[in-house]
Amino acid sequence: MKSKYVTFSKNIFVPVTNVCRNACDYCVYRARSPADAYLVRVDQFLTLVTTKSEATEALFTAGEKPELANPEFVKWLRDATGCSTLVEYTKELCKLAIRHGLLPHCNLGVLNTEELKQLRDVNASMGLMLETTAELSAHKNSPGKVPEARLKMIAEAGKLKIPFTTGLLIGIGENPEDRIQSLEAIKSLHEHYGHIQEVIIQPFVPKQYTAMEKHDQPSFAVFKDVVRVARAILPAEITIQVPPNLTAPRDLIELGASDLGGISEKTIDYINPESPWPSEEELKRVVAPFVLRERLPIYPEFISKGWYSEEIRPLIERYADEDGLRRL
């Protein structure tokens, strides 16, 4: 089923910390040594949000459970911020984002129910990439990539009525049957809770200095097949998103993708730093003759359901038009 529009959002990308308990074979985001570790300071964050341009979303990412990755992290965090956990600090940054006109979307890795509750009221939506339900060697040093743990968190978000983003990472060692099983698992969770607004289909891109730097990237033919299968399996109300800085989206739109994710004028893609964001004008050219429309980090269906807190209601009312998309 083709969407009436092809959508995207405008964001600022905020990598809160790169300290992570996972050591995935394909990742360049994680700090490789204490010397490489960083924590976004409040003043750095305020510089970003006060020059946000037309962005409506603050996308917060972080390494997963950094408190478990490095015993010094908690002291570092407390000394720098006065907070004792990543979730506590990110919640404070979310509050600042809201005050500066940005709707937060947090993807901090696997969180428990209490952590989700802490963040729910200061987020328009949240996310966690499932990646795959298969047990892969690429995740052998990544306790947070156990599929059951990720599926459990996605289910907990559903119980809490959090509009949610998840997705598959294609080409990290899974096979076509694994992809189908992953999509079926997402479908089952959505049928139970009705909370998944979009599924990202993202290609693996080999990175220098990683264990998988010589691993082949999936072909575009394979990627197109995954998008086609995803559209056939997932309920129509779940949007399929493809990243425009990693793919050629025009063919994928024909196969059922209808969202291009977030782009930023001010920040790079910290997960794929070698791949710059296209501009809005470039996106318009790429998707033509389809109509490009800007959306918020919470999709129209969930705005109409009222799945958001009083804390962010004023921003949603300011930004959303009668269709739940960004007011023109």
Residue spans per domain, the chain: 6-315
Confidence of residue 218 (pLDDT cuts 50, 70, 90): very high
User: What CATH class is the domain 6-315?
Assistant: alpha beta
Angle at 57 between CA 56 and CA 59, to 5 degrees: 165
Helix (H), strand (E) at residue 260: strand 259-263
What mean pLDDT is reported for the chain?
A: 94
The Cα 262–Cα 46 span in angstroms is 20
Specify the amino acid at residue 168. Answer: L
The 10s digit of each residue's pLDDT in 121-132 is 999 999 999 999
Average pLDDT over residues 166-193: 98
Give the pLDDT of residue 1: 38
Average pLDDT over residues 243-272: 89
Residue 93 DSSP SS3 = helix
Question: Interhelix angle for 86-99 vs 42-49, to 10°?
Answer: 30
Confidence of residue 140 (pLDDT cuts 50, 70, 90): very high
Give the pTM. Answer: 0.95
The Cα 189–Cα 274 span in angstroms is 34
